[in-house]
Amino acid sequence: MNKAMLITGLIILAAIAFGVLNVVSSYFSGNELDYYALKETTEASMTDAIDIGYYRISGALRLDKEKFVESLVRRLSQTVRDNRDYDIKIYDINETPPKVTVRIDSKTPASFDSTRATITNEVSAILETDYKTNKLIRQLLEEGRLDYTNVNS
């Protein structure tokens, strides 16, 4: 009887250990997948949202806010898993120079005390151009109309 209870206890302990390992591996692999999905879709969405007409006229990069948001949401919805709830938060969109800060929160299927675990990833991205050889930027700098020295961060 004693050995039967010991074997039963080991089987229950192994089942609990497998369950915990499954939850932990799901959390960490989900974090990594969410980060790379966010990074790649943000970069691709910024490239899609460049205002080509403005670039042809002035040679400077400018981001179209609405086009960026539309592209980001569409791309993220195509790449994320269906078994999680995602919350997309866009904190900063700067048109010139193009800069965005995007954060996604994904709630895992695992829950602890009726609270679902949340994975948070945030990415800030900036598109740069060659300001030294750009004629418009160089002209604005020479005229003193483009001065970033007084910008408070």
Break the chain into its structural domains and give their ranges: 24-143
Does residue 127 have a pLDDT over 50? yes
Higher pLDDT, 152 or 40: 40
d(CA 50, CA 82): 30
Summarize pLDDT for 26-85 with one digit per residue, the tens: 666 667 788 888 999 999 999 999 988 877 777 778 899 999 999 999 998 888 777 778
Predicted confidence band of residue 151 (pLDDT cuts 50, 70, 90): very low
Predicted confidence band of residue 153 (pLDDT cuts 50, 70, 90): very low
3-state secondary structure of 73: helix
d(CA 25, CA 35): 15
pTM recorded for the entire structure: 0.68
Q: Is 87:104 a contact under the CB 8 Å cutoff?
A: yes
pLDDT of amino acid 19: 81
Q: Of all residues in the chain, what percent carry a pLDDT higher than 70?
A: 78
